Amino acid sequence: MAAEDRNGVLHGKYELGRLLGHGTFAKVYHARNLKTGKSVAMKVVGKEKVMKVGMMEQIKREISVMKMVNHPNIVELHEVMASKTKIYFSMELVRGGELFNRVAKGRLSEDLARNYFQQLISAVDFCHSRSVYHRDLKPENLLLDDDGNLKVTDFGLSAFCNHLRQDGLLHTTCGTPAYVAPEVIGKNGYDGAKADIWSCGVILYVLLAGFLPFQEDNIVALYRKICRGDFQCPSWFSSEARRLITKLLDPNPHTRITISNIMDCSWFKKSFSKNVSSKEEQEFTVENENYGGKLGKETETLNAFHIISLSEGFDLSPLFEEKRQVEKEEIRFATTSPATSVISRLEEVAKTVNFSFKKSDSGVRLQGQESGRKGKLGIAADIFSVTPSFLVVEVKKSSGDTLEYNKFCSKELRPALKDIVWTSSVSNSTAA
C-alpha cells in the first residue's frame, strides 16, 4: 500500500495488525493509533475494484452517513484517509462479533432479544431523525461490543431524504432478500423508514425464534410469502411479542407500526435501560452537590481578542441568527441587559419546560428530566463581560442529542431571549 511504510505504519499514524475479516470489496484489519495507543478497526477498500463495478458513489455515501450518525449504538467512524489506490476507514473496534453468530447458536431469551431490539430501534430512530435510511438491516450488520452493547454497521446501501423522487419515495431495490420489505420488491417506490421497520421486525423474529419468518429455496416463492406477510409465530413467543411482530411484519406499509408506537408498546418498555445517566449527567449532579446551586465563579471578562474568537466575523449582530440545515452545538449573542436578567430569563425557560436549573454569577446549567435520543438534554450558558454594560452569552449543549438541542433553542430559548439580544444600528437599518 502506497500510504504504508515498510514497518506497516499507515499515514505515519496507524500501525496495521492482523486481518479481522474481509468481503468482496474491503478488508478489515486491527490497527493501533500510535499517538493515542487506541485500537481501531481499519477498513481498507480498493479504489480500482469499486470503480470497476460503479460503487464509488456507494462508498462516498457510506462516509457521509457515518459522519452524520454519531450514536452509542452505531459504529463510530473516526476518520477517512486515502492513497492513490486505497481508501481507509478508521472505525471503532467492536470486539464481540456479529449478532448473527449469537443467533446461529440458538434462539435468545425474550429478555435478551428485547434488549438488543431496544438498542436497534434506538439507533434506527436516530438515523431516521437525520433522514437516513439504512436499507440493509440484518443480524450480520449488527455487531456486539465487549459489554454486549449492539452497534449498527455497514451503511453502504443507506439513503438520504435527497434520494427521494418527486413522489417522496425511494425506488432502488436493495437489501438482503429474507429481510427486505414487500414494498421494496415492487416497482412503485417505498418509504425508507417503513422498510427499515419491516427489517427490524424480521430481526426481532429471528432473535426470538432462531430462524427466519420467511423461508423458501425459490426466490420467487420467498417474495410471494413476504408480499402476503405469510409467517407463523412459534408457540414459545409471548402474546405481547407475537402482537408486536405481527404489527412490524404488516405487508401494508401504510398500516405498519411506527417507531414512536413501537417505543410506546408495553413489551418494548420492559427493562429498558435508556435512562442510564451519561457522563455529562453525572457531572451535572456532582456539580450541583459541590456548589449547592452556585457554580462559584464571577462573570468572566473578555478582551478584544476573545470577542473576535467568539464571533463569526467581527460583527456581533449575526450571533443570534439561526443557521439553516446545519446542526450547531452552540450559539452566542450579545446583550446590554445585566447578567441577572439573562439568568432569570433562562430560569423561566427551565421552569416552562420542566428542566433542572442551577446558577452562579457567571452562568447557568439546565438539564432535561426525560431521556431523548442520546440521553437527557443538558445545556450550559456562560456569561462573559466585554464592558460592565455589554455582555456576550455563550449557550452550549453539554449532553444529549444535537437535533433536540437545536429544536429546544429554536422553540424555547430564542423566543424567550429575543427582546434582550443586542443588535447593531447597522443591522437594524438593514432589516428596515
Catalytic residues: 136
Residue 403 Rama label (left phi>0; alpha psi -120 to 50; beta): alpha
Q: State how far the Cα of 292 lies from the Cα of 284, in Å rounded to an integer.
A: 12
* DSSP result, 228-282: HT-----TTS-HHHHHHHHHHT-S-TTTSPPHHHHHHSHHHHTT-GGGPPPHHHH
Query: Residue positions in the annotated binding site?
Result: 47
Q: State how far the Cα of 281 lies from the Cα of 73, in Å rounded to an integer.
A: 19
Element (H, E) at 344: helix 339-352
Q: State how far the Cα of 32 lies from the Cα of 15, in Å rounded to an integer.
A: 5
Phi, psi of 303 (to 5 degrees): -105, -175
H-only helix segments in 157-251 = 182-185, 192-209, 219-228, 239-248
Closest CA to 408 of 362, 354, 360, 364: 354
Closest CA to 183 of 385, 194, 47, 2: 194
Residue corresponding to grid cell 452493547: 149
Q: State how far the Cα of 265 lies from the Cα of 318, in Å rounded to an integer.
A: 45
Query: Residue positions in the annotated binding site for ATP?
Result: 47
Question: Which residues fall within 8 angstroms of residue 275, CB to CB, at 6 or more apart?
Answer: 371
